[in-house]
Amino acid sequence: IDRQKGQRCIRDSKNPHQDLESSYTDTIIRASVNKSQLLYESGKEAMKNNKHSEALECFNKALKATPQKVEALLYKGILLMDTNNETEAIAVLRLVLNKKLELAKPASLLVAIAYRRRNEIDQAVEILNDILKRDHNYLEALVSRGNLFIAQEKWAEGKKDFGRGIRISTQSAAAHLGVAVCEKQLKNYNEAILAYDKALLADPSLPLNIYYKKAKLELKLM
Tell me, what's the pLDDT at 3? 54
Cα–Cα distances in angstroms (integers) from residue 165 to residues 82, 145, 156, 192, in the given order? 27, 11, 14, 16
**How big is the CA angle at 207 (ends 202 and 213), to the nearest 5 degrees?**
90
Q: How far apart are CA 220 and CA 144, in angstroms?
A: 29
pLDDT at 142 over 90: yes
pLDDT in tens, 38-94: 999 999 999 999 999 999 999 999 999 988 889 999 999 999 999 999 999 999 999
Do 56 and 82 contact (CB within 8 A), yes or no? no
Residue type, position 43, single letter: G
The answer to whether 200 and 214 are in contact (CB under 8 A) is yes
Number of H helices, E strands in the chain: 11, 0
Q: How far apart are CA 25 and CA 145, in angstroms?
A: 47
**Does residue 10 carry a pLDDT above 60?**
no
